[in-house]
Amino acid sequence: MVGGGLMGAGIAEVCARAALDVVVVESSEAAADAARTRLETSLRRAQERGYQVNQDNDVRALVLTGAGDRAFTAGSDISDLDKYGDSWQYRNRMSSRRDYVHALWRIRVPVIAAIRGYCVGGGLELACASDLRIAAAGSRFGAGEIQWGWHGGSGQTQFLPRLVGPGEASRLLFTGDLIDGVEAYRIGLVNELVDDASVLTRAVELADKIASRGPLAVQSAKNLVRVAQGTSIETGLAYENDMFTYLMTTGDADEGRAAFAEKRVPRYEGR
């Protein structure tokens, strides 16, 4: 289930159930500024109420997507940058923007980005902060800020090397070139490539599968994947063994063993 069994509900209903089950970014040209405001507001609200969101056992997987097929999200409007007068104001703006990327990064359950159209700038950072990325072949990815004299400030230089390696990350960051979904899949930026009409369906299908698994084990695995990116193999193996030992004492592990013995589908309660 996604957000307590609302996989089949309309997007508006899912958003009403839990603000970040499916975050829809209106990415049409006319609505771009309002869309960015809504996205930042939603993610900042998640940061402010992160403890409550992360304690909701009915939310086991999240899908982040854009409305329509033109863009996942293209980040900031460059013309907006003229209103910042000095470097300190830029620094404070970027600290504020990082808050919503960090809010997404800190969510304990898996986050899947469903990507159609343009995924550039801040949109690329949001996609990279997600755990998994499903994209259309015709989608476009890029870190184009370098063309105008700066680079991203909310995670591009940190997420990309971890996802695609320093060589491919450097190519994207140094040139600002756009790549399509096929190339993004080739270099490992995208987990799955599907046709345009199937992006959200496939993302929700994957989220639904993840949500059917033992939630404590899924959250532990997500955390250990993060640990693996910033520690030694020895330390990581020790953490993994500790978490395995803990998980084997949970009711979910009891339920999993019972379901296996009884040849039925397990019913996990996250305890």
Rounded Cα–Cα distance for residues 239 and 19 (Å): 32
Strands (E), the chain: 22-26, 62-67, 71-73, 111-115, 118-120, 132-136, 140-142, 179-180, 192-194
Reply yes or no on whether 125 is catalytic.
yes
Which of 125, 192, 205, 255 is the catalytic position? 125
Q: Contact 53/46 with Cβ under 8 angstroms?
A: yes
Burial label for 60, CB within 10 Å (0-12, 13-18, 19+), is buried
Q: Which residues contact 89 (CB under 8 A, 6 or more apart)?
A: none
Rounded Cα–Cα distance for residues 215 and 205 (Å): 16
What number of CA atoms fall less than 13 Å from residue 127's CA on the CB side?
36
Q: Which residues contact 131 (CB under 8 A, 6 or more apart)?
A: 110, 111, 112, 222, 225
Which of 26, 145, 234, 269 is the catalytic position? 145
Token reading at 215: 């939630």
SS3 199: helix
Active site residues: 125, 145
